[in-house]
Chains A and B, each alone.
Chain A
Amino acid sequence: MNVFACVACAQVDFPRRLLCPLCGRDEFVEVDAAQGSVEDVTTLHHRAGKAGGDIAYIATVLTHAGPRVIVRLERLLAPGAVVSLRLESDGAIVGFSD
């Protein structure tokens, strides 16, 4: 799981931008963001336009690298919990607690 740092001004963002929102440059390096802290978490019961569906735990995680990311938690965790982050092959970011 990586986020993206501008080589010119070190601004770190996720998702990756086309141009840096701070300095306008377009060169980035990947920065490891394998861990973070849960800031908010919601239990998702119902999806618009879809009947049924599993309950999911969607969270905002402040990565230790800086940016906030939206993740699916493997299990319900409270705000403040430290989680590891894994990028799935379909693009989902999954948060889990060891």
Chain B
Amino acid sequence: MNDFAGVSIVAAVEVPYTRHAPAGTSTAGLLAQALKAALSQAELSTNEVDGLGVASFTLLPDHAIDFAWRAGLRVGWCMDDCHGGASGINLLQHAARAIQAGDASVIVLVSGDHFEAADFTSLVENYNVTTRTHLRPLNTGGPNPLFAMLTQRQMRASQLTREDYAALCMAQREWASMNPLAVYREPLTLETYLAAPPVAEPLCRFDCVPVVSGANAIVLTSSTHRCAERLPVRIRALRASYNVDHQHGDGLVTGLAGISDALWRDANLQPADMNLVSVYDDYPSMILTQLNDLGFADDQPDLRTFIHERIASRRLPVNTSGGQLSAGQAGAAAGMHGLVEAITQLRHEAGARQVDDARFAAVSGYGMVQYRYGMCANAVVLERGASQ
């Protein structure tokens, strides 16, 4: 069964991201804010919720069921997700199937994190056993050096320069300037980008996501639910591919390449039909990789042309929130950020950055860095449904 008939996304929210959260901020508190805002948007009460999914790195020692209790939810479907940048779409996949199977009728998916400096260091040094055993002793300070080397490989393979990556960052900053929730909204110039402090060469500060505290949430219901009468968003197709190459490759191809044909076939659509795209942008190189794997550059002579003629020109609206690179990376919420933005656009509620007549959107997730690059990739094609 590859269709997602009978399921509607009826709310998508973001708790404002902050670089320096006020004293007293907690991960559970942010998730609760997201839950409350999502239910308010869908005009639901907590006692109507019968399913909950949670993605968070810093909620520990609590899990989804603890959060459900603290939030007063009585649920029959409850799921923890630990897929990082792929968590939003992974949760969406499982939640949609739960609704189709009748296991739940109203599911809220929440994701978010609040980081103190020590929390973040602990997370990146103990991300998994491989990181703790083999990368932490190198004092890499997280995955930046790994993606610096991946970016070098992409630069060699596709004849790209730092100016090309700058164009991606500048384009997203331009979108961010129209998003009041983005933490960085001031214009980014090429000169500023090129003069930025290096992090891990060739990556500079603007190539690395700013860590923030924040949360996101979405709500799914059956399409016969009263909530689905107003501005529903439907799932046309969803595919996932995890651990596709066992870390034997160069990281320049993700699992998306292997599922792209099936995704578009399931959706009965093509990349050219998409009004906007949200791709997981932990680094600019991964924006290109995912778009390429999904076929968005197939009609372009090369990736440089694709960057400048399609993305920088905004003919293809990519990461219209500003993406994580400008809006911030709120831990596990990063895996839901692009999804929330796409749903917001399809509901025509994106304000100044609204893409005209947005009807279709593609969203991809990527992440869970193992030894050299991410293990997880997934993608969903969404459609604006008809209000009744």
Tell me, yes or no, whether A binds B. yes
Residues of A within 8 A of B (CB): 13, 15, 21, 39-50, 53, 56, 58-60, 68, 70-72, 88, 90-93
Give the distance in Å from the alpha carbon of A23 to the alpha carbon of B24 in the complex: 51
* Residues 143-169 of chain B, each 1 if its beta carbon lies under 8 Å from chain A, else 0: 011101100110000000000000000
A56 & B149 in contact (Cβ 8 Å cutoff): no
A46 & B199 in contact (Cβ 8 Å cutoff): yes
CB distance from B355 to the nearest CB of A (A): 32
List 16 A-B residue pairs with CB atoms under 8 Å apart, sorted by A's residue number.
A39-B149, A41-B149, A42-B149, A46-B205, A47-B142, A48-B120, A48-B208, A49-B142, A50-B121, A53-B141, A58-B149, A70-B145, A70-B372, A91-B133, A91-B136, A92-B137
Give the distance in Å from the alpha carbon of A55 to the alpha carbon of B201 in the complex: 11
Query: What's the dominant secondary structure at chain B's contact region?
Result: helix
Query: What's the dominant secondary structure at chain A's contact region?
Result: strand
Give the distance in Å from the alpha carbon of A48 to the alpha carbon of B134 in the complex: 18
CB distance from A60 to the nearest CB of B (A): 5
B199 & A45 in contact (Cβ 8 Å cutoff): yes
Nearest A residue to B129 by beta-carbon distance? A15
Give the distance in Å from the alpha carbon of A56 to the alpha carbon of B121 in the complex: 18
CB distance from A89 to the nearest CB of B (A): 9
A15 & B141 in contact (Cβ 8 Å cutoff): no
Give the distance in Å from the alpha carbon of A87 to the alpha carbon of B199 in the complex: 26
Question: Per a CB cutoff under 8 Å, which of B130, B136, B137, B141 touches A50?
Answer: B141
A72/B138 contact (C-beta < 8 A), A48-B208, A50-B121, A60-B372 known: yes
Nearest A residue to B138 by beta-carbon distance? A72
B137 & A88 in contact (Cβ 8 Å cutoff): yes
Please, which residues of chain A bring their CB within 8 A of the CB of B120? 48-49
A93/B142 contact (C-beta < 8 A), A49-B120, A58-B149 known: no
Question: Per a CB cutoff under 8 Å, which of B124, B133, B197 touches A48?
Answer: B124
B145 & A42 in contact (Cβ 8 Å cutoff): yes
A47 & B141 in contact (Cβ 8 Å cutoff): yes
Please, which residues of chain B bring their CB within 8 A of the CB of A49? 117-118, 120-121, 124, 141-142, 211
Please, which residues of chain A bring their CB within 8 A of the CB of B211? 48-49
CB distance from A14 to the nearest CB of B (A): 8
Please, which residues of chain A bring their CB within 8 A of the CB of B197? 45-46
A60/B198 contact (C-beta < 8 A), A15-B371, A44-B141, A48-B142 known: no
Q: Count chain A CB atoms within 10 A of each CB in B118, B140, B153 and give the residue with the most.
A: B140
**Does B268 reach chain A (CB closer than 8 Å)?**
no
Give the distance in Å from the alpha carbon of A68 to the alpha carbon of B134 in the complex: 13
Please, which residues of chain A bring their CB within 8 A of the CB of B371? 15, 70
Nearest B residue to A89 by beta-carbon distance? B137
